[in-house]
Structure 1
Amino acid sequence: MSNEEFRAAMSRLAAGVVLVTAVEPPLGAGGPRGEDVGMTATAFLSVSLDPPLVLVSLRNGSRMDDLLAEQPLWAVSVLAESQRHIAGRFAMKGRISDRLLFADIPYTRGEVSGAPLVGGALTVLECRTEQRVEAGDHTLVVGRVLSVGFPSGEGSPLMYFRGRYRHLA
């Protein structure tokens, strides 16, 4: 089996789309808040109800992987179908700075994590890393959910299937 065959097989598994966000730590004690960082993910799932745990898979060496190795607080916004443009923007490789990526996206700051929570998302979660597990070319980050919110409360989820964003039909 080749990498391409495996990728093609996994592309046939529909997945919800989330935006994972965190804030870089300030430079020095009392310094200004660091830059907001975000990435689109489809490898995200609920792990446990008691305690409430979720898991996200991060590519080794990615900016988010490096950040969450030192910053334990992060957030997840479960994107609605109408937020396809947000998913696409944060999934781009070789993109512009994260500060510009967040520029015209409505968000609030999480009370616990300080991370951006996307306005209009189906749900938002603030998490603290409990465990990191190396798994091939990815790191599985297990986070304890510290708070949840429902910015829009309604709508259909954004799905990813066969290499494209899709809607439920």
Structure 2
Amino acid sequence: MPEEILQQGHLILIQDYQFQDGNDSKDKFLIVLNRNDEFAYIIHTLTTSQNKLNLPSDNFGCSVVGNIPYFFIQKEIELGRNKFSFSKDTFIFFRNNVRKENLSSFLKYDKSNLILKEKLPNSFLKRLLKCMLKSDFINLDIEKELIEMKEQL
């Protein structure tokens, strides 16, 4: 079990991520918001460089347009100590992608498929949590836990 990689603040690339419907796989990023001995609180970042909604993309961080909160990261902005940056402007939306996932669900991945890209600073995590809590799509069952995580950072 690659427990050392599933730590708070880790930005992880999963090679050949298997979608829950079992019909497809592709490389996918996730951010570990927090974890305990049983669960990882993660955001499957659903990163996209496509701005189909024509949302403002000039400010790093959280923006809300209408009732759509999103977190924007400009390309080549270094996110932490490892100096990882996305090669394209990246939007993170919060629609059905913030989960409390059992650690055992990661057993299906070979350790070599879980690649630590960055250890995000607490200040970044706090901003991300604050932004995602503005979304109407956050699972109400874990919203209280997400609020507690944000306050502990």
**Fold shared by both chains (TM-score > 0.5):** no
Higher strand share: 1
TM-score (norm 1): 0.27
